Structure formats: structure tokens, C-alpha cells
Structure 1
């Protein structure tokens, strides 16, 4: 597999829903084609996962493209959260059918799906606000008021440990995307201007270092989260991808996560969301 982000936003500000759906799916594939990401599935190995590999994740991303398209179209039509949630439920069913029951992208359906809806809405109205701000303004209250998943490992960990989780992240306008991932992404491009995979590794490490990832809490509890955050922070403090031999350092962290059965799935979803937002140049023009 060799995925490249061959995305150039059309000159018009309002992208078609189909284009947005394709971009969202592509960003999920780019997350897969990033190594070394601690504990996560990549094109190199399966990380801490026994039930999925890169091929399965890419098949899932392809399956979700038309649903991201539908979410963007619904957003353009001014849909409320009930309609968006119904599309998301249908997307989850299609994902599980395509993966024989493996939860590959439930978190991404929620977060990336809302960003697609916001992109559709923004394009239809011709406004310049950041997508995260639109999600919070348009659907934030409904996100908090909606049903709580009893099946999601992240939701269970969120309730057990008091972490905000995906629901709080979305309702607040995706602060981890805008305050952590995007600044890390842009800074990393100055360190490795011709290596987008390295840029994604650096961004993923920044997210792991700062986010209370409920997937890490589910797998390793508070100790697992602290270990993960300390490991990623040490990588960044040593210079990250700007340090000679950084790949060996990152690979060592990856192997340590695998040995402890740790997988920062929430950070992986946030990485894909940051790639999506970054690709839509309008966000860079927003005040």
C-alpha cells in the first residue's frame, strides 16, 4: 500500500459533498500509512491489535466514504443532530459488515463525520469559521444531550476515569485538533519539509503526549496512560523528528506500547481529523 495525500482544494470555497467524503476517507488511510505510531496498526505491522491490519482499515475507510459524503450533504442542508446521528449509525453498520464485526473506525465516524457535516454547512453558507467552532455552535448541545454508547470502550473508560472523551472533544469544538495537532503538524513541516510521514509521526506523538486518550485508559488504566504520555513527551523533548536517529527511538516506543498492549486509538482518530482540517485551506484563512 502506498497512499499519498494528493489533495488540492478546488478554487471555489464550497467543496462538493462527494469531494469531502473522499477526503475524509483518504485521511483515514493516511493515518494507517504512518509508521512508527506507538501501538497502532500501520502498513508495517498490526501494532497492539490482533483483530485488524492495514488492509482491513483501508477497506473500512473505503466503506465509509459515501457516508462521509452523506454527512457533508446533510450539513449543507442544515440538518440537526438527529439526522447526522442516523447517518452515523448506518455508517457503523456498514463498517461492521465490511470488517466482519471489527470496530475499526467508530470514533472516526463520530468525529470526522461531524467535521464533514460542518464543512458541508460552511460551504453552503460561504462562511469562514473554523470547522470545530461550527460543530460546537451548531450541534454542541445536542452532542451532550444525545444517548451515551454502552458498547464503546472509550465511553466506558470515560465514565470510569472521568475523562472527557470523544463527546466532550466534539462538543467543545475539537480543541485537541486545533490546539495540539494542527500546531504540531505545521511545526513538524519545518523539521521535515519533504517527509509527510515523519510529519504525521510527530503530530501523533504530540497528541499522545497531551490527550487523555480513553483507548489508552481502557487498555492500560491510569498507569498505561501515564506511561504513554511520558514516552511520547520524551520523544518530543529529545527533538522528535528533528533528532538524528528519531525513527529508531520512535520504533522503540512503538514496541514498548505493543508489549504493554497499549493502543492510542483516540489519538489516531484525532490525527486523521487534523489532516482533514489542514487539507481544507479555508480553515487557514479563518480569523
Structure 2
């Protein structure tokens, strides 16, 4: 932090908010750039998607570039959830305008937005970056409010959640994101500390998520059978050593052909992967 920012707490908060906003966008870009990812959009292919490609995602990220800074500022100011929700709704409209109505980042707008706000609020209270697990738990500060906020019952994710009786992103957030605290962040941290390059560590973490999460995108596209098939494929990849073994990219690419043939896409897991990367990066920022 520069001297001026250190001397003026308002400037310091703006600097921190801008830094967290950039980290959030960079985390979503890291998820996009990571390859191979079964069924998901990468810079090299569109996976199981006919209506979007990497360019669609980049237009969305450009449209969202101010959202994460704004919601970080709101979190640092201890704004009520209504203010955070207003930022999220405006971001969703900006995304849809940029993509021609295609939903690229709705889940990330909610989950990553809450985590960015929580990280900023922790920094304001403590004067330094908080550990990833603490940031996840800090989201519970707004739990009563977002649990009571209106839901879009027509969205594919909500329809799948209700039909299959599995928790969605709101339930995960209200619980302090245990899937991030107990699975994604520890997996990613271990992979990086073990010397895996970023993309390998991200792919390893993604497949752990696919193996263990009831991904609403998989349920929407493939039903319970599609989810079970995807989870079994991910478990087989991990049982064979995952990204820690030579030739893992070819194995994961071949596995991805099966996802594409079945039109399966673990988009919920991809959102959680971006959140996990953000949580680790903000610890050192």
C-alpha cells in the first residue's frame, strides 16, 4: 500500500477494493484459460456448449470488470445485503447485454461476489487479509437476507435443485461454503504446494469438485444418471493419479469427449473453482 493510501483510510479501502476486484476477474479468467476441462468452455473449444465460446466469456468478463470492485467497496463499508444484491442484479444485466442474453457467469456473480464482499469486510475489520476459510464463513453475515431474497424459479439451476432436492448456491453460502473450505481450497493449496503448475492444480481441483459435488448444471443437462456418470468419470481420473501423473492432459481430454457426447457441463464446479482460486490469491494480496 502506498503512503497516501496508508494515511487515508478511505483511499486505503478504495485501493483494497480495486485490488480484490481485479483478483476476482483474474480468477474467472484463470478458470476460463484452464484446459482441458471436460464439457466446459476453454480457449481451444466450446465443450458441450453450442451457444458460447471463449469470446463470449471474455465479453462477459469485460462487462463485469467494475462489479467486483463495487461489491468489494460495499462489503468494506458493511453495506446491507440489499446493496450487494443491487450490484449483483446490475452485473447480471450487464453480462446479458454483453453476451446477447447468454448466461456465462450468473453463478459467479452471486458466489464470487459474496466472497469478494466478505473478503473486503474482513480486511476492514482486521486490517489485513483473512484466511480463505474465514472469508467463506464471513459470508454467513448476510445469510438471513439472501435466504429471504426472491428466487428465479424459472432458471435451469433452480428447476434442477427443486426437482432433485439438492442444495443450491444459496444453501452453500448460508453454510459458509463448506465445499470450498473442506474440499476445493485444500485440494488446490495441496496441489500448488506439491509443485503442480497452475493449470494442473486447477484441473485436479476441478475434478475433485466434479467427483463430489451435486452440480446443478450436470443435473439440469443429464439428470441423476448424467450426474452419477460424470462423478464416476472424475473419480476414475483421480484414482489413476489425476494431474499428478504423466499424460494426464491426454486422459482428461479423452474423458472430456464423453462429456461432450452426452452434452454434460459441470458449470457449477467451474464457478467453485474460480472461487477457490480467488480465495487463495486474496490471502497474499
Q: Unpaired segments of 5 or more residues in structure 2? A: 1-5, 7-11
Show CA shifts across 1:58-94 (max 9, x none).
Answer: 2211211201111100111111111111110000000
Q: Whole-Å Cα distance in 2 between the matches of residues 116 and 189 of structure 1?
A: 22
Partner of 2:48: 48
Change (3 A) 1:282 1:26: closer
Show CA shifts across 1:198-240 (max 9, x none).
Answer: 1111010010001000010000000000001000011001100
Task: Give 3-state SS (helix, strand or coil) of 2:249's partner.
Answer: helix
Does structure 2 retain, via aligned residues, the 8 Å contact 1:26–1:61?
A: no
1:154-173 equivalences in 2 (<5 Å)? 154-173=157-176
Q: Whole-Å Cα distance in 2 between the matches of residues 246 and 194 of structure 1?
A: 12
Partner of 1:240: 242
Aligned residue pairs: how many?
270
Q: Whole-Å Cα distance in 1 between the matches of residues 152 and 116 of structure 2?
A: 21
Q: Kindly report structure 1 stretches of 4+ aligned residues shifted beyond 2 Å.
A: 12-15
Q: What's the offset of the Cα at 1:135?
A: 0.3
Show CA shifts across 1:165-212 (max 9, x none).
Answer: 111111111111111111111222245x25211111101001000100
Change (3 A) 1:190 1:117: closer
Partner of 1:119: 119
Q: Note if 1:38 corresponds to 2:42.
A: no
More helix by share: 2
Q: What's the offset of the Cα at 1:139?
A: 0.7
Partner of 2:16: 16
Partner of 1:185: 188
Partner of 1:6: none
Task: Give 3-state SS (helix, strand or coil) of 1:274's partner.
Answer: helix
Does structure 2 retain, via aligned residues, the 8 Å contact 1:64–1:95?
A: yes
Task: Give 3-state SS (helix, strand or coil) of 2:66's partner.
Answer: helix
Does structure 2 retain, via aligned residues, the 8 Å contact 1:76–1:117?
A: yes
Task: Give 3-state SS (helix, strand or coil) of 1:51's partner.
Answer: coil
Q: Whole-Å Cα distance in 2 between the matches of residues 151 and 103 of structure 1?
A: 14
Partner of 2:3: none
Does structure 2 retain, via aligned residues, the 8 Å contact 1:96–1:103?
A: yes
Q: Normalising by structure 2, report the TM-score.
A: 0.91
Q: Normalising by structure 1, report the TM-score.
A: 0.90
Q: Unpaired segments of 5 or more residues in structure 1? A: 1-11
Does structure 2 retain, via aligned residues, the 8 Å contact 1:216–1:264?
A: yes
Partner of 1:76: 76
Show CA shifts across 1:100-119 (max 9, x none).
Answer: 11100000000000011111
Task: Give 3-state SS (helix, strand or coil) of 2:237's partner.
Answer: helix
1:276-287 equivalences in 2 (<5 Å)? 276-281=278-283
Partner of 2:217: 215
Q: What's the offset of the Cα at 1:152?
A: 2.2
Q: Whole-Å Cα distance in 1 between the matches of residues 256 and 191 of structure 2?
A: 19
Q: Whole-Å Cα distance in 1 between the matches of residues 193 and 261 of structure 2?
A: 33
Q: Whole-Å Cα distance in 2 between the matches of residues 36 and 152 of structure 1?
A: 28
